[in-house]
Amino acid sequence: MMIDLLALAVAFPLLGAVVVTATPSHARGLGLASAVLTTLTSLVLSLGVWRDGSVRSDFGGWGAPLGIGLQADGLSVAMLVMSNLVALAVSVYAGSYFSATARRHFWPLWLLLWSALNGLFLATDLFNLYVTLELLGLSAAALGALSGTRAAVAANLRYLLVGLLGSMTYLMGVALLYSRYGMLDIGLLAEVIEPGLVAWTAMALMFSGLFLKAALFPMHFWLPPAHANAPAPVSAALSALVVKAAFYLVLRLWLDLFDPVLNASVANVLGLLGAGAVIWGSWRALRAERLKLLAAYSTVAQMGYLFIAFPLLVATPPGLARDNLLAAVVLLAMTHGFAKAGFFLAAGLVQKTAGHDRINELGGAAQALPAATFAIGLAGVALIGLPPSGTFLAKWIMIEQAMIQGLWWWVVVIMLGTLLAAAYIFRVLGHAFNREPTPYRFVNDARTEIPALLLAFISAFVLGLIAQPLWTLLDQGVLG
């Protein structure tokens, strides 16, 4: 008897999707069971990596250049834990969110998306990554259109097409690398890749495809309508996880493969685009009329911070400071995952109760839905970056490092983004609290409110205060 947790992290959601598709009448129960099983697998896998270091598994017994394998190191496990916890919360929430007809469509697609996410975080092969990207893109677009409104279908069709454009561009880059080096395994490629036109062009192709999928400014145009019009649990997954997966891939390829190819100017371009995203996204979030649109633009902005880290990473010489910076980026991505998922879940509750999500007409939401409003507030703490959230710690490290390196303009951008974030969060809370308190119960619908609250709570308190394990985790593979 042998248990390969890496394979099971992908196989369980796949099998779950199969079972749920075949027996749609039991979709919710079986879907939740698969969700729990998948999360447990990922957590046990992560615990193993945290204790004993990175693990790799080669499928088919062929080994690296010929076969494909999966690998879990600190970076992938950090994303895996975040994604699976968020996905579990989304699953619990979705269990009572969808109607009986929508449920039979939601669960199989959702589990397929989950297996794509786990497969992506654990992949080691450039072409295998292309397949997971397509699986992710197709399932995400189909899920986003589940709300069935014309706006949702049109926005997610555009998302699907843009995603295809991105993956084709990525694939062209893979073809180029294969034609030069004759292999697809990231680890083996990293040993032989040398700076030059071929590597540079391949990187440009692959990164531009991924930027499209990560909605990096100014390629973010597809994101706000697609995320704002999807059903709330799907919006949460799209904003917290799916765009994050594209960012993870950029970071992974950057660190593991293209490190010798890169120079400061590429990083500065990324940082500049990130800065554009922070300012433009925050500004649009401030002006948004609907709660979910605000959250979607806030995602554009928050993705920007992650890309601002690249010029800082390049400027910092290897050592403790760079390790800290890297951990800060991962912490930022994780915190945003929890916070944005919690925010969207709570916003979905507000929308369902009030019948709309226009911010100016939210008056009294705090009284009718105290738990949801509290969740939005907590998530807001993390989105702004107030202490003790993980965002605060991460931004602090980024700002400190930028000052040390004399790159003060990035500090200005981060501060400006923080101020704008504070403005758009308080705008929401201001509208939610503008009526006399009437005694209502704090929790009205436990199955939907508790997941939102928990996610928001983790983002605001837990991640910032117990960030130390993350440093230990990232020592496994990426930093070491």
Partner 1 sequence: MITQFLYGGSGILLFLLGTWSFIVHPPLIRKLIAINVMGAGVFHTLVALAYRGLTAPADPVPHALVLTGIVVAVSATALALAFGQRLDRDHGSSADDD
Partner 2 sequence: MTPAWAKVLIPIVLIAIGAVLVWAFSLAALEGGDRLALIALERVPESGVSNPITSVLLNFRAYDTLLEVAVLLTALLGIWSLGPAAPAFQPASPILGGMIAWVVPLLILSTGYMLWAGGHAPGGAFQAGALLGAAGVTLALGGDASAGLPGETRLRFLSVLGVLVFTAVGVILMALGYGFLTYPEGYAKWLIIFIETAATLSIGVTLAAAYLGGEPRDERTSRSAT
Residues that bind partner 1 (CB under 8 A): 127, 130-131, 134, 137-138, 141-142, 145, 150, 153-154, 156-158, 160-161, 164-165, 168, 171-172, 175, 178-179, 184
Strand-pair partners of 47 = none
Rounded Cα gap, residues 177 and 188, in angstroms: 12
Compare residues 88 and 141 and give the one whose CB is closer to partner 1: 141
Compare residues 157 and 386 and give the one whose CB is closer to partner 1: 157
Compare residues 22 and 151 and give the one whose CB is closer to partner 1: 151
46-65 positions binding partner 2, by CB under 8 A: 57-62, 65
Residue entry with tokens 């579990």: 88
Residue 4 interacting partner from partner 2, partner 1, none (CB closer than 5 to 8 Å by kind): partner 2
Tokens of 471: 């440093």
Residue 108 interacting partner from partner 1, partner 2, none (CB closer than 5 to 8 Å by kind): partner 2
Contact between 145 and partner 2 per CB under 8 A: yes
- One residue of 44, 153, 261, 279 binding partner 2 per CB under 8 A: 153
User: Helix crossing, 74-97 with 320-354: angle to 10°?
Assistant: 10
Q: Within 10 A of 121 (CB to CB), how many other CB atoms are there?
A: 30
Rounded Cα gap, residues 390 and 396, in angstroms: 10
Residue 415 interacting partner from partner 1, partner 2, none (CB closer than 5 to 8 Å by kind): none
Rounded Cα gap, residues 148 and 331, in angstroms: 35
Residue 22 interacting partner from partner 1, partner 2, none (CB closer than 5 to 8 Å by kind): partner 2
Q: 57, 70 in Cβ contact below 8 A?
A: yes
Compare residues 18 and 407 and give the one whose CB is closer to partner 2: 18
172-201 positions binding partner 2, by CB under 8 A: 172, 176, 178-184, 196-198, 201
Residues 102-131: x where in contact with partner 2 by CB under 8 A, - otherwise, as a string: ---x--xx--x--xx--x-----x-xx--x
Rounded Cα gap, residues 238 and 246, in angstroms: 11
Contact between 35 and partner 2 per CB under 8 A: no
CB-based contacts of 322-326 (< 8 A; 24+ apart in sequence): 323/471, 323/474, 323/479, 324/397, 324/401, 324/471, 325/397, 325/398, 325/401, 326/255, 326/474, 326/478, 326/479
Rounded Cα gap, residues 200 and 206, in angstroms: 10
Rounded Cα gap, residues 107 and 365, in angstroms: 30
Interface positions with partner 2 (CB under 8 A) = 1-4, 6-8, 11, 14-15, 17-18, 21-22, 24, 57-62, 65-68, 105, 108-109, 112, 115-116, 119, 125, 127-128, 131-132, 134-135, 138-139, 141-142, 145-146, 148, 153, 172, 176, 178-184, 196-198, 201-202
